[in-house]
Amino acid sequence: MTHILADDLVVVDFETTGLSPDNGDRAIEIGAVRLRNGQPVETFQALMNPGRRVNSFIEQYTGITNQMLADAAPNAEVMEAFLQFLGSDNLLAHNASFDKKFLDAEFLRIDRQYSGQFACSLLTSRRVFDDAPNHKLGTLVSFKNLHQSGNFHRALFDAQMTAKLWVSLLHEVRQQLAIDVIDLALMQTISKASRRDWQLQARKFLTYENAL
């Protein structure tokens, strides 16, 4: 059968004016890392001008100022370029429900669509790294001793750290299940499984998959 591999995808992260596109919030930066066989092979990063000012909390939280955004390309132009970068790849984000709703909202504004599926490193980490003190991206990067040099809350850095976290999750799943090939669908199954027995549900998935 054909495998859709969990180590071939685009890791994406948005910085935004707030928490909800339904309340008018917009993306102000996008960062992305393309993984092939679990290795970063290409990156995408761009500030984008949403056409309105961001508040001081966002300036402090991200380090992205109104002055920086004044010189940036408009959202439509950046999102068009990102769609070209993304191609037909699948996607990953830390707390994917957040980044997916901004991706969907920004693409809807320019009448564009993407074909990839989302995976979520936050949900997966809650199962696989259940002994972590919490599941914030920064905590998990420290908890797994992942090499870091940069600033959290900037889109490309967060995407790069999420990519490293994902590779660490894939390594752990390979070890715990004693398998080599990991489908994206297996990771999605794990992310939706109950915390207590995700291994059992993963093995059921693998048994079913092998029977096809």
Instruction: Please give the residue ranges that form the binding site for DNA (CB under 7 A).
Output: 13-16, 18-20, 22-23, 58, 61-62, 94-95, 97-98, 122-123, 126, 134-138, 153, 158, 191-192, 194-195
Is 131 or 180 the residue whose CB approaches DNA more closely? 131
In the bound complex, what is the minimum distance in angstroms from residue 5's beta carbon to DNA? Answer: 23
Minimum distance between the CB of residue 9 and DNA, rounded to whole angstroms?
A: 18
Give the nearer residue to DNA in terms of CB position, either 37 or 194.
Answer: 194
Q: Which is nearer to DNA, 3 or 104 (CB)?
A: 104
Interacting residues of 149 by C-beta distance below 8 A, sequence separation 6+:
none
Burial class (CB in 10 A: 0-12, 13-18, 19+), 211: exposed
In the bound complex, what is the minimum distance in angstroms from residue 193's beta carbon to DNA? Answer: 8
Q: For residue 5, give the nearest of 184, 212, 193, 205 by alpha carbon.
A: 184
Least distance from C-beta 84 to DNA, angstroms? Answer: 23
Residue 94: strand, helix, or coil = coil
Q: Which of 62, 113, 58, 55 is nearest to 83 (CA)?
A: 113
Residue 58 or 170 with smaller CB distance to DNA: 58
3-state secondary structure string across 149-193: CCCCCCHHHHHHHHHHHHHHHHHHHHHHHCCCCCEHHHHHHHHHC
For residue 35, the minimal CB distance to DNA (Å) is: 19
Decide whether 39 or 60 has the Cβ nearer to DNA. Answer: 60
